[in-house]
């Protein structure tokens, strides 16, 4: 997935806010940031690893890693008496797992690592021989789903901003 992680994160966090009644800008921001956080490993991929390992094989694309991080974060928050620790950890984990789910749409993710190296992907984007590999993804049907997510998120964001109490 290329362009829809953040829009999808917004849609999920917004939906979670409404479903749980936990309306808080911090929760929304946490879900949005978490939805793109795993791809920060691209810095390692390009700057350190010299593109030797697919970045989906890094720790940041291992769902159980994030389950552990969020669980530890929640536990620490609870120990420190942070009343909203569970909600923050929940919004973060939801955004992080959404990222992996969307990546699994057209790329392989090791959902059960470290227990098994089995890779899961919904569909494979074939190499069509374009000079720039990105065209393989942009011209694949899965990119239409990305565009749909972007349009939905943008429409709801505009609606939310128009209906925000601070803009009335």
Binding site for Zn ion (CB under 5 A): 38-39, 103
CB of 61 to Zn ion, least distance (A): 6
Give min distance, CB of 161 to Zn ion, in A.
28
Whichever of 77 and 121 has its CB closer to Zn ion, that residue is 121
Residues with Cβ within 8 Å of residue 129, at least 6 apart in sequence: none
By C-beta, is 17 or 104 nearer to Zn ion?
104
Residue number with CB closer to Zn ion (103 or 146): 103
Nearest approach, Cβ of 81 to Zn ion (angstroms)?
Answer: 34
> Cβ distance 71 to 82 under 8 Å?
no
Tell me the CB-side half-sphere exposure of residue 43, using CA atoms within 13 A. 4
Phi, psi at residue 54, to the nearest 5°? -55, 130
Considering the complex, state which of residue 17 and residue 35 has its C-beta at the smaller distance from Zn ion. 35
Cα–Cα distance, 13 to 33 (Å, whole number): 10
Task: In angstroms, give the least distance from the CB of 103 to Zn ion.
Answer: 4
Q: Which residues contact 110 (CB under 8 A, 6 or more apart)?
A: 56, 57, 61, 62, 116, 117, 118, 119, 120
Question: Which of 100/153 has CB closer to Zn ion?
Answer: 100
Minimum distance from CB of 42 to Zn ion (Å)? 8
């Amino acid at each position: 997935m290329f362009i829809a992680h953040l829009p999808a994160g917004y849609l999920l966090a917004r939906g979670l806010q409404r479903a749980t009644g936990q309306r808080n800008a911090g929760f929304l921001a946490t879900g949005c940031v978490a939805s793109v956080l795993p791809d920060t490993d691209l810095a390692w991929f390009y700057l350190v690893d010299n593109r030797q390992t697919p970045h989906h094989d890094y720790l940041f694309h291992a769902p159980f890693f994030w389950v552990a991080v969020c669980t530890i974060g929640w536990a620490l928050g609870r120990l420190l008496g942070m009343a909203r620790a569970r909600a923050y950890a929940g919004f973060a984990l939801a955004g992080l797992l959404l990222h992996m789910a969307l990546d699994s749409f057209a790329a392989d993710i090791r959902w059960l690592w470290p227990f098994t190296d089995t890779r899961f992907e919904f569909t494979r984007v074939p190499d069509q021989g374009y000079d720039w590999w990105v065209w393989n993804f942009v011209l694949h049907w899965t990119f239409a789903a990305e565009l749909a997510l972007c349009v939905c998120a943008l429409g709801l964001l505009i609606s939310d901003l128009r209906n925000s109490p601070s803009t009335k």
